[in-house]
Amino acid sequence: MKKVGIALLGLGVVGSGTYKILQKNHEYIKNYYGVDIEVLHVLEKDIAKAEALGIDKSKVSTDINNIVRNPDISIVAEFFGGIEPARSFLIASLKAGKSVVTSNKEMFAKSWYELEAAAKEGNAGLYFEASCVGGVPIIRTLQESMQGNNILSIMGIVNGTTNYILTNMADKGMEYADVLKEAQKLGYAEANPSADVDGFDSMYKLSILSTLAFHKKIPLEKIYREGISKVSKVDMEIGKEFGFTLKLLAIGKLINGKVEVRVHPAFLPNNHPLASVKGSFNAVMIVGDNVGDIMLYGRGAGDLPTGSAIVSDIVYCSKQVEHTLTVFENCKDADFTDDFECKYYIRMTVEDRSGVLAKITGVFAKYEVSIDAMQQKQGGDSASVIFLSHKNSEKNFMRAVSEIKSLNEVKNIDAVIRLVD
């Protein structure tokens, strides 16, 4: 029986969940996977957290050297979050020959190269299944199950907080601010929710997933990012009239050798597989040139779902004779495009008099924006006008929006939402 000593960096929600799973499933893992995993050390300043889990105080400290210098520890699992000290501690562990398992998507997305270099130096492994989509095995699918395909696109709902908010806005007719307060009370959203609602969390995950999908390192600055804080229940209700559901999507595509990566709210047709993903659940769709469509669905966050992905990586790492690191190339500016094609929904408030629509449609025509449908709602001396476009160039559409906004007859551009079919 192979004995494996591990260390846990942090006993927060996921760290505690991981420890619980390792204890509960200890005999199962021994019997079915042939590895006897023991937690030998925990880095945690709050001793009460360790005591609550029944961890011996002698195994708890705040000194990373107690882990790096311990020859019996072969795997380090990190749960700190943020960049430092997680990055420095993991690099030190890797250089010391200890494999790393992490769920820290921000640190990983920003420091992947450094972590890979340290892993090579220490002949150690680097595992990060839990960094994206919680307990859903998306990383290993991309790394080990798609060799017979060139991946053409990856698209998904990868943030449970925003999906919970948008689901409740749609199903209960609530405004964004009210649902956010509710999500914070229930623990789905942080006191400062920016990482989730402004799309940063989804951006980090998309960088990791699209790097694996397209074998090119995707820098964060190349990803278009737009959050959900400006989403209105008015637009969600109008979207329902057109047969649409609103979701925050992470989208990566490889088209004619160019990478397109973006995070933003989008309307989906109600019959689209992602439209039915509700609450805090996540789902990712992968399109391969031979297999076609694949969809993975499950819980995207939480102590046990994310802990299950961490434990999976620990067991998988324990059984490797030789660690395989990710192979990808640097992307150059020429490898990216920010002028993707999309359909659009736009709502604007205009003066309710003759000739206004002609002016607006004239601007659309100038920029070759083709209109699929239009709806007008009266409101005193103003009218709310909604347009749905056919597929258009992002740059052309936004140039048209900018010019329309400057028309005297247009009081406000209330919303612009992309459509995905």
Peptide bond into 85 cis (omega under 30): yes
Options 205, 222, 247, 253, the catalytic residue? 205
Nearest to 339 by CA among 260, 415, 418: 260
Round to whole Å and give the CA distance between 164 and 166.
6
- 205 annotated active-site: yes
**What residues does 109 pair with on adjacent strands?**
none
Active site amino acids? 205
